[in-house]
Amino acid sequence: MKRLVCILFALGLLAACASAPQTQIEPLPTLASLNAVPTLPPEGAERAARDFLEAWRVEDFARMYDLISFASQEANPPETFTALYQAAHAEMTFQSLRYTPITLYRERDTVMVFAYDLTFTTRLLGEFADKDRLMRLVVDERAGDWRVAWSPGDIFAEMAGGARLRLEISPPSRANIYDRSGEILADQNGRVVVVSAIKQDIPDWEICLSLLVPALNKDAAALQKIYDESSADWLMELGTMEAAGYETAHETLAQVCAARFASRPTRRYQDGTIAPYVVGNVGYPDESELAAIGADGFNQDSILGRSGIEKSWDATLRGRPGGRLLIVSQGGGVLREIARGPSKPPESVWLSLDVELQAAITRILGKAYADNAWAETSEGAAAVIMNVNTGEILAMVSYPTYDGNAFNPFPTMGRAEAEKIVAQVQADPRRPQLNRVTQGLYPLGSVMKTVSATAVADSGVYTLDQRYVCTGVWSRDITRVDWLAGGHGSLTLPQAITQSCNPYFYEVGYQMNLAAPGLLPQYMRRAGFGALTGLRDLTEAPGFIPDPDWKRVNVGIEWNFSDEVNIAIGQGEVQVTPLQVVRWFAAIANGGTLLRPQLVQKVGILGEAPSYTLEPDPMGELGFKPEVIAMLREGMCAVTQSRAGTAEYQFRRSPLQTLGICGKTGTAQDGSRPDAVSHAWFAAYAPMENPEIAIVVLVENSGEGSGVAAPIVRDILEVYFFGEDAP
């Protein structure tokens, strides 16, 4: 009704003002006082109101302050004025606003009233409107023009009486992480105690503070900041403590601090030793993150993902809080609810990992280290299994492991025990926190011969039936000897793979360099080495493949055939990750497609349709001739089945022989430590027909691939295919 009256009276005012000076702003309808004559044209009042709102829209608080009256400025210093708007914007998670003018009318000779609507866009609550707002404008004698007669009520009307905004947050509970079968890896079923107090109820803050610091394990400065920024009658959330700490301290805190206590769920890992380097851990935000998470409705005590899946899928796992924006009185009573926003539910993440397989591999590696003398020189190992048709990672084990629960803010084993575990892990020279599958860098050793054989045949440098007499010695540069005294005799290319004849592949490197220097490094890159695999969920290393340009620029000398000879057997400066190797073997098995490795099978809310489902993601084709791939497979399958195969003796009595395991052993000299024991590799795919998985095991500084890594792969594959655990 009010708007209708305003518009009717406005028609008369427009007629009366027809001779007024022209302005660029189309004037609003106005209501004129019948008893007053304006001292200044009303268009100036409208312009001042619009300018003020436009400055607010772009958060130009200094310009806004310039547009308020001198009397308003005397009552509200610029620092206070700006702080009120900044606090309001922070509380509502402000993003933008737009205004809709309604009318302009005269209240007195020197007072005009501008009626308008505001629509706010906020990060947490979305869009909401505050309608029928009134802004008073007065003739300011000093300015000689219209100015806003400002008070805090121009932010929201009720704030004129000292009320303020309060955003009540409803944080959702962090979602779970599951394995591929729905086994829980991480949930929110741990419990902590939230400690709060009303400022004015605390008898002696200094004494209270001295008790809170050790009880909450929190810095005194952080607690003091909470205290200083809280109103006397507001409930302050001071921090959290473990259940054990609560039992010890709650009576004293209740008496000295008038503390209140409430239970809150926290993160828990069902078995923290199962893939902590994959699942990751949670923690508090850094100082640099507070502004961003605050705009999303989270506070400094919120739990964020700090590593692994917890970090890469953090926003999905924590969702977004809902909330209510309220105007509350100085006494804390609710005067008005301005807006309400629903929470965005967190979504659980299902990994492609099989937790039982993951646990079995961890046990198998642990037993191998317990039973063998090479454990004295080996600091760690890696094992990874990939579905050759989808890119799903079914197992990713880095050894040794550790208990990820110890790295959470509220560890399940108690803070004292957790601190001891963390100190041990961080001081351990074996680097348990390193994910050796994705970040471990190693020379490839004789596993490289699978790439070299493919390259020399596909490039046409060798024919598929090329023979070479392996005498056990090769001396085109220095004298190099084979691992088998006397050599292997005359070998075809697949036989050279099966028997892992070094001189054969020394000659391959020599001939490829003769054909085109740097040709073999080009084929390595085609096979996916020297670059990231495309895994989205964890940090990975790209590895390194040397080439003529790199050597010229970084070493200052020209490439020669010896460089390519070294590469042909996986030595020299070659550095690869086990993840790159398993991806290469998966491509051999599936016919030549390099797939993106993937760790997340699906994402969604339990019982609802998933918002994300894993699909195979081809990142490129090898482009090798089919007959070359067939030749490579022939040589690899004989590694475990032919009496001449380097790993046949490890698989001879295994039921896996009924399936056929196609693989390659590797023994790689540690380039960083020439006197150290070699790294042991075994990489394979299985079954021989219609391959399903590729697998790689790397054991640092342990000896020969056939003697160390191959039996570990055998034991793992027996678990995978037949359900037999480690003996």
Residue 273 domain-assigned?
A: yes
The answer to whether residues 323 and 457 belong to one domain is no
CATH code, domain with 478 = 3.40.710.10
Overall domain count for the chain: 3
Confidence of residue 189 (pLDDT cuts 50, 70, 90): confident
pLDDT digits (tens, 9 = 90+) for 348-393: 999 999 999 999 999 999 999 999 999 999 999 999 999 999 999 9
Last residue of a domain, which of 319, 351, 383?
351
The answer to whether residues 7 and 66 belong to one domain is yes
Predicted confidence at residue 382, as pLDDT, reads: 99
CA quadruple 710, 711, 712, 716: dihedral, nearest 10: 100
Task: Between 601 and 171, name the one with better pLDDT.
Answer: 601
Task: Between 576 and 19, name the one with better pLDDT.
Answer: 576
Predicted confidence at residue 342, as pLDDT, reads: 86
pLDDT at residue 499 greater than cutoff 50: yes
pLDDT at residue 326 greater than cutoff 50: yes
Residue 382 domain-assigned?
A: no
Q: Which helix (H) or strand (E) holds 382?
A: strand 381-387
The answer to whether residues 321 and 457 belong to one domain is no
The answer to whether residues 593 and 669 belong to one domain is yes
CATH code, domain with 133 = 3.10.450.100
pLDDT at residue 467 greater than cutoff 70: yes
List the domain range (segments joined by +) for residue 512.
Answer: 395-405+436-602+616-722
The answer to whether residues 37 and 105 belong to one domain is yes
Residue 132 domain-assigned?
A: yes
Residue 671 domain-assigned?
A: yes
Mean pLDDT of 624-645: 97
Among 352, 326, 351, 350, which Cα is nearest to 337's?
A: 326
Task: Between 619 and 35, name the one with better pLDDT.
Answer: 619
The answer to whether residues 638 and 514 belong to one domain is yes
Q: Which helix (H) or strand (E) holds 108?
A: strand 94-108
Residue 371 domain-assigned?
A: no
Confidence of residue 28 (pLDDT cuts 50, 70, 90): low
Residue 652 domain-assigned?
A: yes
From start to end of 181-309, where are the E strands? 184-198, 235-241, 260-269, 282-283, 304-305
Last residue of a domain, which of 289, 322, 351?
351
- Which residues are paired to 694 by β-bridges? 386, 685
Predicted confidence at residue 724, as pLDDT, reads: 65
Residue 650 domain-assigned?
A: yes
Portion of the chain with pLDDT greater than 90, in percent: 76
- Which residues are paired to 235 by β-bridges? 198
Cβ 463 vs Cβ 598: under 8 Å: no
Confidence of residue 25 (pLDDT cuts 50, 70, 90): very low
Last residue of a domain, which of 160, 193, 219?
160
The answer to whether residues 181 and 87 belong to one domain is no
Q: Which helix (H) or strand (E) holds 30?
A: strand 30-31
Give 545-550 contacts, CB < 8 A, sequence gap 24+.
Answer: 545/521, 545/574, 546/521, 546/572, 546/573, 546/574, 547/518, 547/521, 547/522, 548/517, 548/518, 549/518
Residue 386, SS3? strand
Q: Which helix (H) or strand (E) holds 323?
A: strand 322-328
pLDDT at residue 36 greater than cutoff 70: no
Task: Report the relative pairing of strands 30-31 and 94-108 from DSSP bridges.
Answer: parallel
The answer to whether residues 154 and 183 belong to one domain is no
CATH code, domain with 337 = 3.90.1310
The answer to whether residues 577 and 690 belong to one domain is yes
Residue 29 domain-assigned?
A: yes
